[in-house]
Amino acid sequence: MMPVVELRGARKRFGEVEALKGVDLTIGPGELVALLGPNGAGKTTSIALMLGLRRPTAGQARLFGLDPNDRRARSRCGVMLQESGTTGVLTVSEIVDVFRAYYPSPLPTARAIALAGLDAKADARIGTLSGGERQRLYFALAVCGDPEALFLDEPTVGMDVETRRAVLESIRSLSAAGKTIVLTTHYLEEADRLAHRIVVIDRGVVIADATPREIKSRIPSKRINFRPETALGASTFNGLPVQNLEIADHRVHLLSNEPEAVLRALFERGVVVRDLEVTGADLEEAFLGLTRRP
Amino acid sequence: MTTPAVAPVLNMLLAQTRSELLMRWRVPAFSVTNLALPIVFFTFFGLPVAHVRRADGVSIGAYLLASFGAYAVGNVMVYGFGIGVANERGMKIDRLMRASPLPPLVFMLAKVLTALLFSLVALVLLIAFGIVAGGIHQTPAVWATIIVRLLAGSLPFIALGFAIGYWSGPNAAPALANLIYLPLSFASGLFVPLNQLPAFIQTMAPYLPTYHYAQLAWSALGAGRESLGVSLLWLGGYTVVFLTLAVRSYRREERAKFG
């Protein structure tokens, strides 16, 4: 089946900075993919290439097998961008109506507004919306054309807990209805809960591309946290399976897949451990483990 | 039945034009300036002399209505596009539109249609005001000729507006539009008839786009200073110049934002 998104050896240079250094990524119909990475990693640039908002310096970007600027490809996509604005003087339903006209078979206006949880604000001028409501409006604009694929760049930024939950619920139901969804997010537990597939991008390259479970198994699963009785140097941990070692304020933080082995070795090396905590590392930490350079 | 791959262009154009009209109408800085300012100016400059006739029989009132009509349409075009486009770039509306299936040409065409409609309303209001408040009489055919010519001849000012909008930012655009359009209008005899202006302005006027634009309306009253062909030639030349500037600024922006 024709992939929805195809980046092949995609590079993007902005002046001196190479934002993408050869990304290969194929996303098929119905996938729900989360792009993760620290700020400036190249997530937004990747989405911009997929949508034709930027042209690759080298390599290729295809959308539904077409040039991303092709109107036939665009007509199958709904988009929510981080850096975009809209007029303040139209009402929510007026602007949703305009965007519906861009698509061949759009949703009813009220349905699109409901998916974004903006029913109460349908007749409000856009200029009067709060930041979170504005985000929801952009979500409504992304879904109003009933597109096959949704591209959501940091969709829940600035939303309160309640709306975030509602929008995530909408994303989940759209995915269940067979839509292809590509999103970037800083709320990593969001990606963990939502996505079928996580693509980790760091410094312009894909460093991991797997299910949330695989990502988790590949990276340190436990976080160890203790106060040593006497000051320690990093050399104490030589040869041990630890990552993200931090020694500060008389406390030691580290991540490991084998916490028992690490602790046993520390005891053997004569380290006296106080206030020990061993907890499960969440995706955020997992992710740090993947992106942190030695 | 299969779903068409893209939305019908006419639907897009109608919806887009409708929203542009609403946006324009709801911003008093645009609607009031575009519709009321020419009438205010005409009240000051035109009403006191509305009943005077030139030696050749041309009504000064009608002459000044034609002048302010030209000013009004150019105003809608230069300010509407100049400030409108610069503002939208400032608010990053262009990025969202760029990612949507709306073709850029339809986006621009909707703006042009909106500006033409606003110009039409501005002209009708101005002329109606001149008839009612100034007792100025011309045949409906003359008024219609003035309106049609001013709308059709507004292309260079649409191009000038786009050039300002893509060249400057949202803060600079209003100042730039004023700095360009007000002196152009004044020096072309749109506010005060040319023969009452200093000699150096009279020498300069025949090189200005607003001068040749106003000729389209003046000549409908038998008060033109050149043939229609000459006016159109000048306006065509200026359209090429302004359009080149607009396209250059647009391309520069394209490379920076979407390259």
- Those residues whose C-beta lies under 8 Å from the C-beta of residue B4, and which sit 6 or more positions away, are A104, A105
Q: Which of A104-118, A207-221, A267-281, B106-120 has the lowest mean pLDDT?
A: A207-221
Q: Which residues of A touch B259 (CB under 8 A)?
A: 54-55
- Distance CA(B158)–CA(A139), nearest Å, equals 34
pLDDT at B125: 96
Q: Report the predicted TM-score, pTM, of the whole model to 2 decimal places.
A: 0.85
Q: Which residues of A touch B103 (CB under 8 A)?
A: 71
Give the side-chain half-sphere CA count within 13 A for B166.
Answer: 23
Average pLDDT over residues A164-181: 92
* Helix, strand and coil in chain B, % to nearest 5: 80, 0, 20
Q: Which residues of B touch A105 (CB under 8 A)?
A: 3-4
The vertex-B110 CA angle with A64 and B237, nearest 5°, equals 110
Confidence class of residue A283 from pLDDT cuts 50, 70 and 90?
Answer: low
Q: Which fold has domain A219-291?
A: Alpha-Beta Plaits (3.30.70)
The residue written with tokens 């409901």 in the block is A114
Taking only the tens place, the pLDDT of each residue in A175-229 is 999 999 999 987 667 788 889 999 988 889 998 899 988 877 776 778 899 999 8
pLDDT at B1: 45
Beta strand pairing call for A149-153 and A180-184: parallel
Asked if A125 and A88 count as a contact pair (C-beta separation under 8 A), the reply is: yes
Show which of residues 110-129 on chain A sit within 8 Å of chain B, judged by CB atoms: none
Contact B19 A102 (CB under 8 A): no
A94 against A37, higher pLDDT? A94
Among A224-238, B116-130, B161-175, the range with the most confident prediction by mean pLDDT is B116-130
pLDDT at A294: 44
- Those residues whose C-beta lies under 8 Å from the C-beta of residue A140, and which sit 6 or more positions away, are A92, A96, A112, A113, A115, A116, A118
Query: How many beta-carbon pairs under 8 angstroms link A with B?
Result: 91
Q: Which residues of B touch A94 (CB under 8 A)?
A: 19, 22
Where does residue B122 rank: exposed (0-12), middle (13-18), buried (19+ CB within 10 A)?
buried
Average pLDDT over residues B109-137: 95
Asked if B188 and B214 count as a contact pair (C-beta separation under 8 A), the reply is: yes
Q: What is the dihedral of CA A240, A242, A247, A250, to 10 degrees?
A: -70
Contact B95 A83 (CB under 8 A): yes
pLDDT at A100: 97
- Distance CA(A174)–CA(A116), nearest Å, equals 12
Average pLDDT over residues B29-54: 91
Across the interface, of A71, A94, A104, the residue whose CB is closest to B103 is: A71
- CA–CA distance from A9 to each of A53, B40, B255 (Å)? 17, 62, 22
- Distance CA(B51)–CA(B62), nearest Å, equals 9
ipTM > 0.90 for the complex? no
Helix segments in A144-185, DSSP class H: 161-176
A139: nearest CA partner in chain B = B96
The residue written with tokens 């955020």 in the block is A284
Report the run of H or E that residue A244 belongs to, with start and end. Answer: strand A243-248
Asked if A35 and A201 count as a contact pair (C-beta separation under 8 A), the reply is: yes
Contact A98 B16 (CB under 8 A): yes
Mutant choice from B14, B31, B95, B255 vs A, greatest count of A C-beta within 10 A: B95
Q: Which of A91-95, A206-210, A240-244 has the lowest mean pLDDT?
A: A240-244
- CA–CA distance from B147 to each of B35, B126, B221, B229 (Å)? 15, 11, 12, 18
CATH number of A5-216: 3.40.50.300
Report whether pLDDT(B66) > 50: yes
Confidence class of residue A258 from pLDDT cuts 50, 70 and 90?
Answer: confident
Query: How close, in Å, is residue B155 to chain A by CA atoms?
Result: 26
Range(s) within chain A of domains with CATH label 3.40.50.300? 5-216
Contact A94 B93 (CB under 8 A): no
Question: What letter would DSSP give residue A271?
Answer: -
- Neighbouring C-beta atoms of residue A70, cutoff 10 Å: 18
Average pLDDT, chain B: 92
Residue A237, helix vs strand vs coil: helix
Range(s) within chain A of domains with CATH label 3.30.70.100? 219-291
Residue A5 CA from chain centroid, whole number: 16
B26: nearest CA partner in chain A = A89
- Those residues whose C-beta lies under 8 Å from the C-beta of residue B116, and which sit 6 or more positions away, are B151, B154
Contact B101 A102 (CB under 8 A): yes
- CA–CA distance from B61 to each of A126, B47, B53, B136, B143 (Å)? 44, 7, 8, 6, 13
Contact B91 A86 (CB under 8 A): yes
- Distance CA(A102)–CA(A105), nearest Å, equals 9
